[in-house]
Amino acid sequence: MRWFIFIIIYILVDIYAFQAIKTITKNPWVHGFYVFISLAVLAGLIYELSFLGSAKMMEPPKMYFFGIFLAVFVPKLIIIVFMFGEDIARFFVGIFMKIAGSDNSQFMASRRKFVSTIALGIAAIPFASLLYGMIQGKYNYKVLKYALEFDDLPDAFDGFTLTQISDIHSGSFDNQNKVEYAVNLINEQQSDVILFTGDLVNNIADEMNDWKVLFSTLKAPEGVFSVLGNHDYGDYVKWESASEKFENLQNLKNLQKEMGWNLLLNENRYLQRSGQKIALIGVENWGENGFKQAGDLDKACEGISKDDFKILMSHDPSHWQAKVKDDPRHFHLTLSGHTHGMQFGIEIPGILKWSPIKYRYKNWAGIYEEFGRYINVNRGFGFLGYPGRVGIWPEITVIQLKKKQNTV
């Protein structure tokens, strides 16, 4: 029933937006093209909603339809905002002119055409942006570098660098050369350790089969470490049996081992230099808002001292807000992903950082600090749902740990 209502809303929006086209041009070919595109998208929408399963939108063909739908529908929403506002203004202006006894027909026509032109011009921006995001934006990799200072960082780790990647979502990839470029870009950072914070696949371990050789080339002196994200458990697939789902998860774990990655499942490792050490802790997925809570922080910290310098890998940043930042064990740096920055937003360094995802996650992209404890939320390496990125680009994070110098 809810899908039926949505389709009705789509049709009404379509008809309303069409008024702007009719105002600008009387060309029947333009009208026909608009109607053809609208009907094609509507037919696809009905088909997708009729056969949509729990994992369907995570398959590339479905994602591309969703992207095209957004590119067509979002501009129409912008158009009707202008047109509706202009209709309200026309109503009151019309009443005023009628009372005044003025002939307002020419004024109204020219006003309508002016507003329609403005609406179409502004609507062209998200249309072009969403198409660009699907063609180029999704592989527009950015290396973001940070230096974080800590009073209690062991001296031997002053200058230690880590590269974080997250949310690979290999089931979405469709360009071998672009992904290979990004993997090489990760290695080019020459960090001491590479850390992956979950969501290797969209649904099933087999999605990684065509990419495991490439990602096995990731190398760092201290190794490559990983944790699981919510998509890695196969929860969004309708499995034939529980054993089949279990086998899929085991395959994913084994695959990471084959790639030379060290998967941390509620466990920890010490990284050592010159007789000093820092603790690297990895928890399974722990999220709010209905996401899996398999993470066990107490188990992951077994054998870890309160005084140890700690780096925590936890896929979902809501874990940091809910459990980690106030934990008396003092986790110095937490690394998360999950949000993708919603793959859409506006970022002007030092001036503006906005995405609709901020209204759901307090920590959604970049570095945050509270009580001297830091979290970095990586914007993600891959993409899911909408097969593109607009303004929130795929990210490779490089963080350098620095010993804070005491000044007198």
Which tens digit of pLDDT belongs to each residue from 242-300?
999 999 999 999 999 999 999 999 999 999 999 999 999 999 999 998 999 999 999 99
Q: pLDDT tens for residues 80-104?
A: 888 877 777 666 766 766 676 665 5
pLDDT at position 407 is 60
Query: What Å distances lie between residue 102 and 90, 94, 108, 240, 267, CA to CA?
Result: 14, 9, 12, 73, 80
Taking residue 166's Cβ as centre, other Cβ atoms within 10 Å add up to: 33
Q: Residue 107 above 60 pLDDT?
A: no
Residue 54: is its pLDDT beyond 50? no
pLDDT exceeds 90 at position 64: no
Domains of the chain, by residue range, sit at 2-135, 140-403
pTM score of the predicted model: 0.91
The per-residue pLDDT for 8 is 85
Query: What number of other Cβ atoms are within 10 A of residue 235's Cβ?
Result: 16
Q: Give the pLDDT score at 25.
A: 85
**What mean pLDDT is reported for the chain?**
90
**Token pair 């937006």: residue:** 17
CATH of domain 140-403: 3.60.21.10
Between helix 2-24 and helix 105-135 the angle, nearest 10°, is 120
The predicted-structure confidence for 5-39, as pLDDT tens digits, reads as follows 878 888 888 888 888 888 888 888 988 998 898 88
For the beta sheet containing 395-403, the strands, ordered from the edge strand earlier in sequence to the opposite edge, are 142-150, 395-403, 161-165, 193-196, 224-226, 261-263
Find the angle CA(352)-CA(355)-CA(358) to the nearest 5 degrees. 100
Least confident of 77-86, 152-161, 182-191, 375-384: 77-86
